[in-house]
Amino acid sequence: MDAPSVTYLFDTPDFGTVTRAAEGILWVRLPLPFALNHINLYLLESETGWTVIDTGLGDPGTAEAWERVFAAHLGGKPVERVFVTHFHPDHMGQAGWMTERWGLPLTTSRTEWLIARMLASDDGDGSRHRASKLFYANSGVPEDVSSILTKRVDGYRRGVTPVPNAFERVKDGDVLTVGGVAWEVTVGRGHAPEHVGLYSAERNIFLSGDSILPRISPNISVWPAEPEADPLLDFMETLDEFTRRMPADVTVLPAHDAPFTGFHNRLADLAEHHRQRLTVLEEAMADRPLTAWDTVSVLFRPGMDPHQMSFALGEAIAHARRLVAEDRAVLEKPAVGPWLYHRG
Ligand SMILES: [Zn+2]
């Protein structure tokens, strides 16, 4: 784990600049107002136009940045497909605007489209808020923090332009042909339920979205909408599947940080990272029963902002739930008070 396991193929470009990542593939790096301060968006060229891979956050600055790219880099050809890897607002954010702008459908997986539509809808009867409050109460989150996190329930709607009412579905194994090159749709699970990437065996390139990232571990979280989900199992299965499916020397174009090689090393490191976290958490449970809130301070350093905290809590719960599923811990749901994880 000490030696760098991946090799970056580029220095980090400035925001808004367009880099040729490979023949017929442009890479745009745009800023994000989060701890993770940027996103990579890609454009694939064909004879007749461009396929956009992810759209950026739904804020006015991102749309303006896209207009500058469209004016300067499309060579007079239109955008002909808007492909979104998953529902997170930094990827789906401009999908509504961009599909309107070019008169196109949104291309994504069915699950990602459904979740985006669900989260962008109005919480008319307040049930989403109530589910969120219950989730944080069961997790043992203190009232002052819980009220901040619950307010974030509507955050998704603020991060996206209106999610299109109709879409064009892609599913695992489908092939999209762009400029005579076949790109296979690869579903990765864990970070999002049906995250879609694109792999070309011929070009030996994988557009990985957030499913695999070179530096940070993609967030694997349990969320209020499915409090007993087991996304870490999904993610570990995806790591195995990707190892079999794509070669070690594939060039990876990810949605964060920079294009890299060392794919199988990265897959192995991510699996090892989670195995270690499971062990750390299991050992902490030997001392005393832990609430989900307690598990956060076992796995993460203090000083997180609310945005980071919601991801840290979700990720800590994902690890606790995996320990339960592996019979390494027991989940107790007392009649009163938060749920407790312990060694049994
Ligand atoms: Zn994401």
Quote the ligand 1 centre to 210 CA distance (angstroms): 5
Quote the ligand 1 centre to 92 CA distance (angstroms): 10
Q: 151 pLDDT band (50/70/90 cuts)?
A: confident
* Cβ(161)–Cβ(58) below 8 Å: yes
User: Closest Cα partner for 226 from 307, 119, 91?
Assistant: 119
pLDDT attached to residue 3: 59
Helix (H) or strand (E) holding 159: helix 155-159
Quote the ligand 1 centre to 218 CA distance (angstroms): 7
Quote the ligand 1 centre to 101 CA distance (angstroms): 24
Quote the ligand 1 centre to 216 CA distance (angstroms): 12
Q: 1 pLDDT band (50/70/90 cuts)?
A: very low
The tens digit of pLDDT for each residue in 19-54 reads: 999 999 999 999 998 888 999 999 999 999 999 999
* Measured CA distances, 137 to 227, 230, 293, 307 (Å): 12, 19, 10, 18
The tens digit of pLDDT for each residue in 303-331 reads: 898 889 999 999 999 999 999 999 999 99
pTM of the predicted model, to two decimals? 0.96
Q: Where are the domains of the chain?
A: 7-121+155-282
Quote the ligand 1 centre to 332 CA distance (angstroms): 31
The tens digit of pLDDT for each residue in 156-189 reads: 999 999 999 999 999 999 999 999 999 999 999 9
Q: Computed over its alpha carbons, how large is the radius of gyration of the chain?
A: 20
CATH superfamily of 7-121+155-282: Ribonuclease Z/Hydroxyacylglutathione hydrolase-like (3.60.15.10)
Quote the ligand 1 centre to 202 CA distance (angstroms): 27
